[in-house]
C-alpha cells in the first residue's frame, strides 16, 4: 500500500469511527454492529502500526466513549474509566496472556500461577458511583472516560444501588458497574411506549441509556433499571488484595454482583467458562455480549496499568453475533446528510436474541450485488448486541426468485444525478442543499446532541417544522419564536412545549467554536477533527477568512490547513469545497449573525508533554515496556534512538553506544533511581 493510499484509507476509517461513536454514545442509536466497528478499528490500528506518523495523540482508535454534551452537569472521574480490548478465540486470549507475561517479566512458575476472574460482559452502560464518608454523593456516566454526566438523581432511583456504605468502607471510594435493563422490563417498556404513540427503543441497552439520561428523574423512576457492580476506581484506602475479594466485599456492602463470576487459572478453563456462559446467554434475563476476564491480583493490575483506552490486565472475550432467518420484503433507498444513498432492507419481523427486528442495513450497491439478495429472498440476519442488524447472506431456496434490485442512478428524493467518488463505495446524490433529504438530515444533525444540542427539537419536530416551511435552513431555528402562534396551535404542542423549545434554543445562542463547526455537518469533520481545527484557528472569523484564502491551491492558507496535525489532504479538500459553495456560505453567514461563537481554549499540557525520552541499558526495577508505559502516561514520547531531538536519556546498567551518543550531543542523562524520582514512583 502506498503512503498516499494508506492516508486516504485511514482518513476514511477515522471519519467512519467518529460517526459510529457519535451514533452510539450521543444518540443512543448505533448504526453498525460491534463486529463491523471492531473490524474498522482493527484496520485503522494496522495502518497506524505501519505509519506511526498518523498517530495523533487524540486519535479515535484510542478513545473511550464520546464527549459529554447534555443538560447534565459534568463530573470528572478521579480515576479514568476505561474500555476493554477484545479477543474472539483461545489463540487471541493466549496472546493477551503473553503480553502480560512480557510486560511483567514473570518467571515461568509465577506465570503459571496467575489467577483470573471471568464474569459476563453486561450490555448496558457503565456508571461511576462516588461515596464520600460512606454516603453516595455522585453517580456519573462514563462520558469520554475522564468526564461524565452527573446523573446522581436518576441513579438514586435504582433500588439495587445502596445510598450508604457500612463502616469498613473507605472514606472516599469510586465503585463502578453496569446499569442495564432486563429483557422483560424492556419488552414491557416498549409496549407502553407504543401504546402511547412514542417511538420504542431499539434494544435494552438503548432503553437503559435513554432512561438514565432523562432530565426528569421521575421518568427514570418509572423505568425499571438494574445494576451489577464489577470494578473499582479511586479508593482512599485499599479494600482488598484481589479482584475476587473486592467483589465479595461489594456484595457484603449491599451491591448486586454477577452470580456467574468464576475464579480460574488455566487458559483452557477460561475457554470452557466462556463457552458455558455463551450457552446460558439466551436464557439469561439480561443481554450480555461476551465474558470479561480480569487478572485477579490487584497489585499486578496496578503495575500493568493501561495502554491507550484499555487496561493491560483485562480483556473482553466477545461472543459471535446472534442470527436469525427471515424474509426480505422490500429494499428502500435512504438519503443521508452527505447525500449517501443507503439501501435499507425491510424484513418480516423476527426475534433475534430476544429483540424483534424488522429492518436491516445493506450498506451499498456492491453489497447487494455481492450477496446477491433480492426482494422476496429468505435471508440470514445478524444482530450483535446493540445494533442495527445486517444481512449476512441469502439462504438458498428451491423456488423462483424475484427481480434483481435495480439501484437508482438518481437521488430518489430530489432527482439529482447520483455519483460515486473515486475509490469510494457509496453513491451520493449531487443535489447538495437543493435536495430535501439532505437539507432535513443536515438540520437533524445540526440540532443533535453532540452538535448544537437543542433539546425538544428531535427528528420528528424537524420534519414537521420543515413541512410547514418554518425551518428551511439552520438559521431559521433561531427565528422560530416569531412563529409562536402557529407553533402553539400545532397538534401536540401548546404553550408549554413551545416556550420550552424557545428557551432551549436561546440557551444555544452562545456556542463553542468547535461545536459550531461540527454542527455544520461538513463531510469528514467529525467531533474530533472539528476540535483540532478549532484549536488551530482559535476563533470563527480567523477560520472563515483562512478557508476563503485556502480555496487557492498553493496559497499559504491552503498549506497551513494541510499542515494541521491530523488533518490530511482529503479533509482539507472537503473544507475548501464546503466554503466554495455559495449556498453554504449563505447558510453560515445567516447563522453567524444570530450566534455568539466562543473561541477555542488553548491545549492543556502534561508534565512531560513534548519531551522525547530514550531508555538504554538494563533497568533493574522495571521491564522496558513498563518503563515506557509510565513515561507515556506522563506525556512523554519514547524513542529507541538518540538524536538531537532527544530531551532525556535514562541509562540502566551496561548502557552502551546510546549513552555515548547522548554525551556527544550534550543531552541530559539520568539513572534509573533519578528517573523513578522524577516520575513520582
Ligand atoms: S470491567 C477497565 N466488567 O464493558 C475495565 N466491564 O468494553 C473496565 N462491561 O466500559 C470495565 N460488563 O461498560 C467490566 N463485568 C464487566 C463488564 C464490563 C460490561 C462494560 C463496561 C465497559 C465496557 C468495556
Mutate which of 174, 227, 231 for ligand 1? The one with the most ligand atoms within 8 Å of its CB, which is: 231
For ligand 1, the distance from its centroid to the CA atom of residue 509, given in whole angstroms, is 38
- Strands 668-671 and 648-651 turn out to be parallel
230 lines ligand 1 (CB under 6 A): yes
Q: How far is 192 from 200, CA to CA, in rounded Å? A: 9
**Residue with CA at minimum distance from ligand 1 atom 2:** 82
Binning pLDDT at 50, 70 and 90, where does residue 68 land? very low
**Domain coordinates of the chain in residue numbers?**
3-63, 86-318, 322-420, 431-508, 513-598, 612-679
pLDDT score at 354: 66
- Vertex 206, ends 204 and 212: CA angle to 5°? 100
- Is residue 36 part of an annotated ligand binding site? yes
CB 450 within 8 A of CB 460: no
Tell me if 414 is assigned to a ligand binding site.
yes
C-alpha to C-alpha distance for 390 and 382, rounded to whole angstroms: 6
**Would you name the residues annotated as active-site residues?**
121
pTM > 0.85: yes or no: no
Residue pLDDT, tens place only, 199-238: 678 788 889 998 998 877 888 888 999 999 999 999 999 9
Q: Name the band, by pLDDT with cuts 50, 70 and 90, for residue 167.
A: very high
Contact 659 CB / ligand 1 (< 6 Å): no
Cβ(672) – ligand 1 distance below 6 Å = no
CATH-assigned architecture of domain 86-318: 2-Layer Sandwich (3.30)
How far apart are alpha carbons 572 and 592 in whole angstroms? 22
For ligand 1, say whether the CB of 23 is within 6 Å of any of its atoms.
no
CB of 291 within 6 A of ligand 1: the answer is no
Q: Does 126 contact ligand 1 (Cβ within 6 A)? A: yes
Find out whether 158 and 225 touch, Cβ atoms under 8 Å: yes
Determine the topology of domain 612-679 in CATH: Rossmann fold (3.40.50)
Task: Read off the pLDDT of each residue in 76-105 and give the average, rounded to a whole number.
Answer: 93
- C-alpha–C-alpha distance, residues 31 and 20, integer Å: 6
Residue 461 grid cell? 419536530
Pocket test for ligand 1, best of 25, 129, 144, 178 (most atoms within 8 A of CB): 178
Question: What CATH number matches the domain at 513-598, 1.10.150.20, 3.40.50.1240, 3.40.50.720, 1.10.760.10?
Answer: 1.10.150.20
At 462, list the grid cell.
424537524
Q: What is the CATH number of domain 3-63?
A: 1.10.287.610
Identical fold, 322-420 and 431-508:
no
* Superfamily of segment(s) 322-420: Nucleic acid-binding proteins (2.40.50.140)
Of the two residues 122 and 611, the one the predictor is more confident about is: 122
Instruction: Establish whether 411 is an annotated binding residue.
Output: yes
pLDDT digit string (tens) for 169-207?
Answer: 999 999 999 999 999 999 999 888 877 766 678 788 889
Characterise 193 by phi-psi region: left (phi > 0), alpha (psi -120 to 50), beta (else).
alpha
Nearest atom (ligand 1) to Cα of 83: 24
- The pLDDT mean for the chain works out to 89
Class of domain 431-508 as given by CATH: mainly alpha
pLDDT in tens, 309-346: 899 999 999 988 888 999 999 999 999 999 999 999 99
Please report which confidence band the pLDDT of residue 69 belongs to, taking 50, 70 and 90 as the band edges.
very low
- Out of 118, 125, 230, 385, give the residue to mutate to test ligand 1, the one with the largest number of ligand atoms within 8 Å of its CB: 230
195 is in an annotated binding site: no
Amino acid at each position: 500500500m502506498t503512503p498516499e493510499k494508506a492516508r486516504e484509507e485511514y482518513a476514511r476509517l477515522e471519519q467512519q469511527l467518529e460517526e459510529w461513536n457519535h451514533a452510539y454514545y450521543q444518540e443512543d442509536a448505533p448504526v453498525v454492529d460491534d463486529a463491523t466497528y471492531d473490524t474498522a478499528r482493527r484496520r485503522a490500528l494496522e495502518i497506524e502500526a505501519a505509519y506511526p506518523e498518523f498517530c495523533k495523540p487524540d486519535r479515535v482508535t484510542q478513545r473511550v466513549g464520546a464527549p459529554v454534551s447534555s443538560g447534565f452537569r459534568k463530573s470528572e472521574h478521579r480515576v479514568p474509566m476505561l474500555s476493554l480490548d477484545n479477543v474472539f478465540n483461545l489463540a487471541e486470549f493466549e496472546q493477551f496472556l503473553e503480553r502480560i507475561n512480557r510486560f511483567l517479566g514473570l518467571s515461568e512458575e509465577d506465570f503459571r500461577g496467575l489467577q483470573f476472574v471471568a464474569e459476563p460482559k453486561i450490555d448496558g452502560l457503565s456508571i461511576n458511583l462516588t461515596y464520600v464518608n460512606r454516603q453516595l454523593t455522585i453517580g456519573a456516566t462514563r462520558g469520554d472516560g475522564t468526564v461524565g454526566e452527573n446523573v446522581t438523581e436518576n441513579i438514586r432511583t435504582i433500588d439495587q444501588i445502596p445510598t450508604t456504605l457500612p463502616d469498613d468502607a473507605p472514606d472516599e471510594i469510586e465503585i463502578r458497574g453496569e446499569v442495564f435493563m432486563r429483557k422483560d422490563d424492556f419488552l414491557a417498556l416498549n409496549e407502553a411506549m407504543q401504546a402511547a404513540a412514542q417511538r420504542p427503543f431499539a434494544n435494552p441497552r438503548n432503553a437503559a441509556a435513554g432512561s438514565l439520561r432523562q432530565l426528569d428523574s421521575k421518568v427514570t423512576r418509572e423505568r425499571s433499571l438494574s445494576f451489577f457492580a464489577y470494578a473499582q476506581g479511586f479508593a482512599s484506602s485499599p479494600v482488598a488484595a484481589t479482584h475476587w475479594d473486592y467483589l465479595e466485599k461489594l456484595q457484603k456492602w449491599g451491591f448486586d454482583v454477577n452470580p456467574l463470576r468464576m475464579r480460574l487459572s488455566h487458559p483452557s478453563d477460561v475457554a470452557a467458562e466462556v463457552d458455558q456462559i455463551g450457552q446460558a446467554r439466551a436464557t439469561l434475563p439480561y443481554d450480555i455480549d461476551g465474558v470479561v476476564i480480569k487478572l485477579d491480583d490487584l497489585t499486578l493490575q496496578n503495575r500493568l496499568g493501561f495502554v491507550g483506552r484499555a487496561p493491560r490486565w483485562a480483556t473482553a472475550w466477545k461472543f459471535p453475533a446472534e442470527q436469525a432467518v427471515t424474509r426480505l420484503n422490500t429494499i428502500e433507498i435512504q438519503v443521508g446528510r452527505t447525500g449517501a444513498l443507503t439501501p435499507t432492507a425491510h424484513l418480516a419481523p423476527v426475534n433475534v436474541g430476544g429483540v424483534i427486528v424488522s429492518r436491516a442495513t445493506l450498506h451499498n450497491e456492491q453489497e447487494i450485488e455481492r450477496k446477491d439478495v433480492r426482494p422476496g429472498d429468505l435471508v440470514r440476519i445478524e444482530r450483535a448486541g446493540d445494533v442495527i442488524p445486517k444481512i449476512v447472506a441469502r439462504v438458498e431456496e428451491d423456488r423462483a426468485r424475484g427481480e434483481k434490485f435495480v439501484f437508482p442512478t438518481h437521488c430518489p428524493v430530489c432527482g439529482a444525478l447520483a455519483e460515486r467518488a473515486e475509490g469510494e463505495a457509496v453513491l451520493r446524490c449531487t443535489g447538495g442543499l437543493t435536495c430535501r433529504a439532505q437539507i432535513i438530515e443536515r438540520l437533524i444533525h445540526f440540532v443533535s446532541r453532540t452538535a448544537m444540542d437543542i433539546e425538544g427539537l428531535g427528528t420528528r419536530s424537524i420534519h414537521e417544522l420543515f413541512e410547514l416551511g418554518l425551518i428551511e435552513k439552520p438559521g431559521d431555528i433561531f427565528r422560530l419564536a416569531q412563529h409562536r402562534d402557529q407553533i402553539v396551535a400545532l397538534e401536540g404542542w401548546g404553550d408549554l412545549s413551545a416556550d420550552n423549545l424557545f428557551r432551549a434554543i436561546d440557551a444555544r445562542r452562545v456556542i463553542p467554536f468547535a461545536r459550531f463547526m461540527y454542527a455544520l455537518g461538513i463531510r469528514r469533520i467529525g467531533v474530533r477533527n472539528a476540535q483540532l481545527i478549532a484549536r488551530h484557528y482559535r476563533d470563527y472569523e480567523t477560520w472563515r477568512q483562512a478557508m476563503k484564502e485556502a480555496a487557492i491551491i498553493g496559497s499559504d492558507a491552503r498549506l497551513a490547513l494541510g499542515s494541521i496535525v491530523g488533518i490530511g489532504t482529503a479533509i482539507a479538500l472537503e473544507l475548501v469545497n464546503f466554503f466554495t459553495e455559495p449556498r453554504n456560505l449563505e447558510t453560515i453567514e445567516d447563522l453567524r449573525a444570530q450566534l455568539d461563537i466562543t473561541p477555542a481554549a488553548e491545549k492543556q499540557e502534561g508534565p512531560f508533554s513534548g519531551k522525547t525520552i530514550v531508555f538504554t541499558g538494563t533497568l533493574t526495577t522495571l521491564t522496558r515496556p513498563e518503563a515506557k508505559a509510565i513515561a507515556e502516561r506522563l506525556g512523554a514520547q519514547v524513542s529507541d534512538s538518540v538524536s538531537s531531538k532527544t530531551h532525556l536519556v535514562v541509562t540502566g546498567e551496561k548502557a552502551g553506544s546510546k549513552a555515548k551518543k547522548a554525551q556527544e550531543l550534550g543531552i541530559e542523562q539520568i539513572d534509573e533511581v533519578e528517573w523513578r524520582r522524577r516520575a513520582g514512583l
